[in-house]
Amino acid sequence: MSDIEYTYEVVNVDAYAKAMEIAYTSPGRQTMLIGTRLPYAGESVDVIAKMYAPVAYWREQEAEVVIPELGAFGSSVNGSQSVPVTLDEAKAAKLAEIAAARYEREVSGTVLNGNPVDTDREMQSKIAGAMAAFQAGFITSVDWKFGGTTFVTLTGEQVQAIARAVTQHVQECFTWERFMVERVNAAATVEEVNAIVVEA
């Protein structure tokens, strides 16, 4: 099995939660955003990046499969054999699954006073920009679009309420990911890792 080359970049650091987010990129493969712990004293970022690298996940996605003939059947006494994986590989695959689920949660949106609010990365950036403009006194109101169809003129206080709701939503997603990552890190066997269910 050939090695998988990849690069990584630390894209988010939460010192309070003692966690960071690493973006892994490999040519021709899905870019993965994975939440990890911060390096301990004496550790390098390279060590953490290698520990959480989604290599096992990428390999699983690229594995050749055999399409069974329609109607094929059989019986078994001893059960089917599975491809053995190491604990590190199982953890890396599970962490990649958790990171993907957290991202889907993060960008899925939230609701404020009955209005749907987008929470994707672009919207998070726009909200931060609007907040900065209000605080600098550049604007006193802003036209905002909810749900892709409804326009509303908002004051600075209303934009602040949106920013608070989005920030809380995003933080809840990362809190969930941190909890799940800690469960994976605490697992002592492949079976314990596989027993962790990741709900999208």
User: In this predicted structure, what is the pLDDT of residue 37?
Assistant: 87
**What does each C-alpha distance from 90 to 23, 119, 157 come to in angstroms?**
19, 31, 47
Parts of the chain with a pLDDT under 70: 1, 72-84, 147, 200
d(CA 95, CA 65): 23
User: In this predicted structure, what is the pLDDT of residue 167?
Assistant: 92
> Within 10 A of 14 (CB to CB), how many other CB atoms are there?
14
DSSP label at 69? P
User: In this predicted structure, what is the pLDDT of residue 169?
Assistant: 93
- Residue keyed to tokens 């469960």: 183
Backbone angles phi, psi at 42, to 5 degrees: 95, -15
Report the mean per-residue pLDDT for the chain: 86
User: Tokens in use for 141?
Assistant: 């109101």
Contacts with 117 (C-beta within 8 Å, 6 or more apart), sequence order = 109, 110, 111, 123, 146, 162, 165, 166
d(CA 166, CA 20): 19
DSSP label at 5? -
Strands of the chain, DSSP E: 7-14, 19-25, 32-37, 110-112, 115-117, 141-146, 150-155
Answer whether 85's CB lies under 8 Å from 77's CB: no
User: In this predicted structure, what is the pLDDT of residue 70?
Assistant: 77
User: In this predicted structure, what is the pLDDT of residue 74?
Assistant: 65
Contacts with 159 (C-beta within 8 Å, 6 or more apart), sequence order = 127, 130, 131, 134, 142, 144
d(CA 96, CA 51): 12
Of all residues in the chain, what percent carry a pLDDT higher than 90?
48
Answer whether 13's CB lies under 8 Å from 38's CB: yes
User: In this predicted structure, what is the pLDDT of residue 33?
Assistant: 87
